[in-house]
Structure 1
Amino acid sequence: MRVGFIVNPIAGMGGRVALKGTDGVVEEAIRRGARPIAPDVARLFLHELSNYAEARDLGFLTGPGPLGEDLLAEFDFPYEVIRHREVGYREVLGVRVPDTNSDDTKELVRRMLGRVGLIVFAGGDGTARDVFTVAGKTVPILGVPTGVKMFSGVFAASPEDAARLVAEFVGGNAELVERDVMDLDENAFRHDEVRPKHYGRALTPYAELLLQGAKEPTKTDEAEDVDAIVEALAEELEDGIYFLGAGSTVKKLKDLLGINGTLLGVDIVEIKNGRARLLVKDAAEKDLLKFAGEKTRIVVTVIGGLGFLFGRGNQQFSAEVLRRIPKENIIVVATPSKLRNGFIRVYTGDREVDERLRGYIRVRVSPWMERLVKVV
């Protein structure tokens, strides 16, 4: 089988620096200390794929230079390059960045149609949208998660799972299902406004546990339950430093504590003598590292539909941050609908940290009850 392989080399750069995306803000991300992460994630995908016997007969069709060619050159897979144009580079504050855009993705997909049995792309929701806009349902697509939000249902849970899913698909052990392609207005998202748009349903390889779900809002009939859980939790918080995560559930806690926190970012709060004080609003990874320690606590919720605790939309909680905070200091709040799969996911890109977080974690599901939920 021949597989299309496209890398968005700037995807995900805005995550750790609290930009909630990278579209149109690459320069700002670099000013805040961001560096490209997509090539490393895509490289991990190819490395994992090379270990599967089913991948021995795979060939790739890819884009020039940073769009795929550079990474495939590091492995033994046969590949052909679509040289639709010469891809240049630009330097921003000492960081060399490929001069690529969404038109490159669309043109590569256009030239792959009819020549591949699957298109694998490394990127985020914007890349998924670009691939689907051209491919439609003419060819299956699969995302290697390298973006910030990744609310679409066409992404594997991790680059390792993407590799396994490709192997299962090639071996005839993965069915094709229709999954939602979604994207948000990133500029509005950075200003705490959620404006999702549904672009359609793509054909995607599926095997149990390897593919993530699509983002879902909190159910209306659970809103009162969330209020009750948050009110009970607010009364129980001890004095100390807290990292309050993203999402409407934790935002209710921020409001109840009387702080002007963000809806979609991470805020650093100090509680002293029962009163909360906002230390850092919309914190980046570097801010969290200044306060992370054995006594620091984290309050987070599970992203509805995706089932992720860490690794989607909150990359400020990096492996280095989570390494410094005991697992028992992570307070998880979630309504039962967010736990319907029976497990929740974490993916920091650091296997040691992910392994420490796996096992079981307590999740507050009502004002008076916690549930032990498996972390995978």
Structure 2
Amino acid sequence: MSTFRLGLVVNPLAGLGGSVALKGSDGAETAALAQQLGAEAKAPQRAAYALQELREVADQLTIYTGSAGLGAQSCELAGLDCEVVYHQHSISTAADTQALVQCLCEQHQVDLVLFAGGDGTARDVYAVVAEDQPVLGVPAGVKIHSGVYAVSPRAAGKVVAQLVRGELATVTHADVMDIDEVAFRQGTVRAKRYGEMLVPEELRFVQAVKMGGRESDEMVLADIAADVVERMEDDVLYIMGSGSTVAAVMDELGLPNTLLGVDVVKNGELVAADVTARQLEQWVIDEGQAAHLIVTVIGGQGHIFGRGNQQLSSRLLAHLGKQNIQVIATKRKLQHLEGKPLLVDSGDPMVDDSLCGLMRVTTGYHDEVFVQVDAP
């Protein structure tokens, strides 16, 4: 049996800006600022979660990767052997990503390039990869609009394992998308399509391109908002997740809203705007304040955690528990999922598993439906 040749590329700086509310990590200055604010690199561990799914097929697999955070660290965390074929000489940059991809494809003719990062990383890979080279992304960034990413790290690993076993052979073209981070930090989504890359076609495991635009049915949003506000209790911190559906609740309260950030409300007043993961953990976990989280569904993808709301850390979600999380969405948005489950990708598989199962979703005024939640 021939050995499957896997190329692994990790952007160790991907996702740094999410937990500290920077809305991204593109550029050395932003990454440095995120680290100064206390952000920790999560991409190597998320790549390791994907690699853990390959343990059973390790004897059929050779992994080629870069040194340290570019991939070797993730292999070590996952307990897998690898062959280091590229060494970075300073802080990881886009040039390292591109040089490693070129090395994997041109010198080692890998069967698949598995890369961990966000939309900026996908653009870096796209810039140098051949049109006929299959790739697959492990979601590890703040911005995940591209269709080249799996729905979670573990899902990415399952796809690769299927490929190694010969269970999947079909690939399809998927969009490489990215947004303007400067505009994003100001509350505007300005997405651009940069091209396509080949990805394994397994729709349960590879995400759709994110839907853009605000919800048009204002009456339904108003009904949802009225229901949420009516249920609010005194002296409870309400953590308001990002998105236009949650924005409707803030409008109902008459409060300013950070459309693409996380705000905190208590007793009908805005306590803090565009907060970080550490702030939330301090108030809710360290200080023990009663809290309730309100989130919505990302249109077209179905994620409720792990896409653009990394301020909602796995530690916070574990502390809150499923009973203190309220999901709100219009039935139209749920129908667009075509029966697929809602998805959680908090970065901690144990937390993800605890959130799986049936979850009530508020879809109108005193109107709820049960929806399945999964962690592929």
Q: How high is the TM-score relative to the length of structure 2?
A: 0.88
1:264 match: 260
CA contact (8 A) 2:329 2:363 kept: yes
2:138 match: 144
CA contact (8 A) 1:294 1:326 kept: no
Superposed displacement of residue 42, structure 1: 1.9
Deviation string 1:144-178 (CA, Å, 9 cap, x unpaired) is: 11111212121122222211110112223223122
Superposed displacement of residue 80, structure 1: 5.0
Superposed displacement of residue 223, structure 1: 4.3
1:205 match: 200
Q: How does 1:1-376 map to 2 (within 5 A)?
A: 1-24=4-27, 25-49=30-54, 51-53=55-57, 55-72=58-75, 75-83=79-87, 86-88=88-90, 99-114=91-106, 115-135=109-129, 137-174=131-168, 175-217=170-212, 221-239=216-234, 240-271=236-267, 276-292=268-284, 295-339=290-334, 340-342=337-339, 343-376=341-374
Amino acid at match of 1:4: G
CA distance 1:109–1:233, shift in 2 (3 Å):
same
Q: How high is the TM-score relative to the length of structure 1?
A: 0.88
CA distance 1:298–1:72, shift in 2 (3 Å):
closer
Superposed displacement of residue 215, structure 1: 0.8
CA contact (8 A) 2:214 2:244 kept: no
CA contact (8 A) 2:53 2:161 kept: no
CA contact (8 A) 2:224 2:363 kept: yes
Amino acid at match of 1:228: D
Superposed displacement of residue 73, structure 1: 6.0
Amino acid at match of 2:300: G
CA distance 1:3–1:126, shift in 2 (3 Å):
same
Superposed displacement of residue 228, structure 1: 3.2
CA distance 1:224–1:107, shift in 2 (3 Å):
farther
Greater shift after overlay, 195-204 or 111-120?
111-120
Superposed displacement of residue 72, structure 1: 3.9
Superposed displacement of residue 354, structure 1: 1.8
Superposed displacement of residue 133, structure 1: 2.2
CA distance 1:70–1:327, shift in 2 (3 Å):
closer
Amino acid at match of 2:105: L
SS of equivalent residue, structure 1 residue 113: helix
Give distance in 1, aligned partners of 2:356 and 2:364: 23
Deviation string 1:95-139 (CA, Å, 9 cap, x unpaired) is: xxxx12112212222333351221110111110111112225321
Amino acid at match of 2:245: T
Deviation string 1:35-57 (CA, Å, 9 cap, x unpaired) is: 111122222322331x223x422
CA contact (8 A) 1:180 1:201 kept: yes
Amino acid at match of 1:297: H
Give distance in 2, aligned partners of 1:231 and 1:200: 42
Instruction: Name structure 2 gaps, 5 residues minimum.
Output: none
Instruction: Name structure 1 gaps, 5 residues minimum.
Output: 89-98
What is the alpha-carbon root mean square deviation over aligned residues? 2.2
Superposed displacement of residue 76, structure 1: 4.7
CA contact (8 A) 2:187 2:260 kept: yes
Amino acid at match of 2:272: V
Amino acid at match of 2:178: D
1:91 match: none
Q: Percent identity?
A: 41
Give distance in 2, aligned partners of 1:198 and 1:224: 32
1:94 match: none
CA distance 1:336–1:136, shift in 2 (3 Å):
farther
